[in-house]
Structure 1
Amino acid sequence: MIKAVLVFNNHGKPRLSKFFVRYNEDMQQQIVRETFHLVSKRDDSVCNFLEGGSLIGGSDFRLIYRHYATLYFVFCVDSSESELGILDLIQVFVETLDKCFENVCELDLIFHVDKVHYILQEMVIGGMVLETNMTEVLAHVEAQTKLEKQETTAVSFVKAGMASAPTRAIAAVNTLKAAAPFKR
């Protein structure tokens, strides 16, 4: 089972953190710091698997990570998960982000955090891998984007109609006055 997905930059600033196990806020921050220290001090030529830190579960847990440019993508998993399968999942996650944001960068993760969480949720739910086919994930993301655009258009249409409502009401009253003048 996947316990957490963490993405942080070369300076240890978290850009995405999704915990599938309940930890309080302070513990989550400590886990991110400890994970960064464990992963960042490793050379790029060594294996991308290491034993979990003392906070995330010790020897029963593994940290599986990839370092792309300025970002570390780390999956904290228990011993039942396949290390190579998780490495493949990280690759698919990054490629999907790259397709959605056209050359994904750290700023995309900062300014589109909701979309990044949605993409991750299409792939992993409750710590279990749901989908690894990038085409399927992209199809769901595109459908969600279309739905959001339709909703935005509908809201804009309603707002435009509401903005002109007072003008239409005054025009209707003036028309009634002209048609049937009030007699005393």
Structure 2
Amino acid sequence: MIQAVMVISTQAKPRLLKFYNFQPPEKHQDLVRSVFQLLSARPDSASNFVEGTKMVYQHLATLYFVFVFDSSENELAMLDLVQVFVETLERCFKNVCELDIVFNFNKLHTVLDEMILGGQVIETSSEQIMKSVEEIARLEKQSSTTSLIPKSISDRFRR
């Protein structure tokens, strides 16, 4: 089971924190702090696997994309899932950067929610995830343009 997904900037600012197990907020904060300390001390030439803790990550520009998981998950499958997550974000934002994540956090959560539900992987195809994200965006746009007030009532107020 996936325990957590994090996107942390190289300046130690959490840009996305999604936890799939219940723990007190202090434990989550400790985990984020320890993950960042561990990753920021690693050289770029080190592997994307972290011994001891079941964790894989990808360092892209100023961001760390981190998946923490338990022993029931395969490390290589998790590394592939990180790659799918990053690849999908690249498709959403053309060249994902920290500002994209800051100003489009809803889309980031949508992508993640299309991949993982309750700590279980539900989709691994970037194409399928993109189709779902685009459909959600289309439906949101459609619902924001259609009026909730019936036409006959809105006509009365215009007169």
TM-score (normalised: structure 1): 0.80
Amino acid at match of 2:116: V
2:71 is aligned with 1:79 = yes
Cα RMSD of the aligned pairs, angstroms, is 1.9
Distance 2:32 2:41 in 1: 14
Instruction: Give the residue type in structure 2 aligned to 1:106.
Output: E
1:36 is aligned to 2:36: yes
Q: Would you say 1:125 and 2:145 are equivalent positions?
A: no
The 2-side partners of 1:26 and 1:35 are apart by 14
Aligned to 2:143: 151
Structure 2 distance, partners of 1:159, 1:69, is 49
Q: CA deviation at 1:89?
A: 0.7
The 1:166/1:74 distance shift into structure 2, 3 A limit, reads: same
1:166 equivalent in alignment to 2:127: no
Q: Aligned-pair distance for 1:27?
A: 2.0
Moved more, 104-113 or 1-10: 104-113
Q: Return the offset for 1:127.
A: 0.8
Consecutive unaligned residues of structure 1, counting only runs of 5 or more, are 52-58, 169-184
Q: 1:86-139: CA deviations, max 9, x gaps?
A: 111111101101111221111111111111111101111111111111111011
Partners of 1:162 and 1:27 in 2: CA distance: 53
CA distance in 2, matches of 1:127, 1:29: 19
Paired position in structure 1 for 2:62 = 70
Task: Tell me the secondary structure at the aligned position of residue 146 of structure 2.
Answer: helix
* Partner SS state of residue 138, structure 2: helix
Report the CA distance between 1:26 and its aligned residue: 2.3
Q: Residue 77 and residue 167 in structure 1: after superposition, are their counterparts in 2 closer, same or farther (change >3 A)?
A: closer
Q: Which residue of 1 aligns with 2:98?
A: 106
Which has the bigger relative contact order, CA under 8 A and spacing at least 6? 2
Q: Secondary structure at the match of 2:4?
A: strand
Q: Do structure 1's residue 24 and structure 2's residue 24 form an aligned pair? A: yes
| Alpha carbons of structure 1 residues 167 and 136: separation in structure 2 relative to 1, 3 Å | closer
- Counterpart code for 2:46: V
Worse-matched range after superposition: 139-148 or 77-86: 77-86
Q: Secondary structure at the match of 2:68?
A: strand
Change (3 A) 1:166 1:90: same
